[in-house]
Structure 1
Amino acid sequence: MANSMIPYSFIPGTKAKAGEVNANFIALADIIEANRQTAAGDIEDVNEVLKTKADKTELINEHTILETDTDLNDYKTKGAYVFISKYKPKNIPKGGAGLLVVTGHKDSLIKQIWFCTEDNPEIFTRNFTASKWTDWRSVCGIEKKAQIGYLQLPNGIIMQWGSNVGSVVTYPVAFTTIAAPVFSKIGWGSSYERSDTGIAIHSLTGFSVGSGGVFNNMHWIALGY
């Protein structure tokens, strides 16, 4: 079954065609590139704000927020605003400190760009339109770099993986609509064929592998949303 983002999904217990798996990875690469271009556009918006100020030091200093009980929902005037953790504002997307850049116009669309100032910083954006704020969206994606990890893109596409794991897999992040796992078994015996191994149970939260041959462990990857 195909969808608008990932061209192929797979039926549990059946072999995946190499061409279809490759097509899924190519589609994922295209999505990542599109998100990279979106992030570049947001950075251009920041540069436009900075160009309107001749003195960049003044831009930062005059908007350093040293007040309690502030709310990012109230910041709709163009400029840059520095928040320290002591004065953490309401409706912050992540962390306790950061830089807020506001651009746009009240009569059309106002954009907020939030730069986290933590060890693993992220950039978030949202818009004020039709008299309300949209949800914060990370332009970097959310990731976990580990033996069992994932990369969650801003548009909802998720890539997950595991290395040297057993026959039962629980996804770090549950998919909501489609999950397309592929695995590679480690272990082989001369009296068995590799085709005796396949996905026995498959859901949006994980899958399990059944094998009549030698099964030591496996590597796996799953795409979906």
Structure 2
Amino acid sequence: MKIGVVIFPGANCDADALYAVERIGAEPVELWHAEPDLKGVDAVILPGGFSYGDYLRPGAIARFSKVMRPLEEFARGGGPTLGVCNGFQVLTEARLLPGALLQNMSLRFVCRTVPVRVEHPDTPWSGACVPGEILHLPVAHNEGNYFAAEETIAQLEDEGRVIFRYLENPNGSRNDIAGICNAERNVVGMMPHPERVSDPLLGSEEGLKVLRSVLEFAGAKVH
């Protein structure tokens, strides 16, 4: 399986994501922001960082990168797409996911490991988990406070589209939301970083469960 990792100027988690893809036994593929080509990948990860320096607002400029045109078609066509941290912000700017990521309630950058509960394992990026499973994942963001209109939050909850939920909310996110999916469930955005806990040398490899999920999803589709 080939998993593409988009590389934006200002990204700082692309190398971590590529390494994590190797760790799960998939083939990592670099996708350059200025090239409108997904190179035939089977899944896409938009990594964390500060794409385009977070000018205007996080993800606002990256959303117009040339690579986003085929990526949006891929996602809207059912392709497994994961946005992590800044990648989540890019997905909301591209309207592939609802809502927005606002500044943390503390008005400070937050960087620590937090417990996150898996609410629904029926997406390509959570299928290797079980409902209620708790993962300890690092967060590192200044704008991770998930916000949406009341009716949107209610819809996300009613449709089971809150995929990951904080047990210790680090940013003020509505309903302790750490990650959501689209209506078709193939696009997932999450603020915690699974790729940063992908090797025992890093202290944990719990994050690999999120990434291994897409392998199980691909296998299920084949069979």
TM-score by length of 1: 0.24
Structure with bigger RCO (C-alpha 8 Å, 6+ apart): 2
The structure whose residues are more often strand, as a share, is 1
Q: Which has the larger radius of gyration?
A: 1
The structure whose residues are more often helix, as a share, is 2
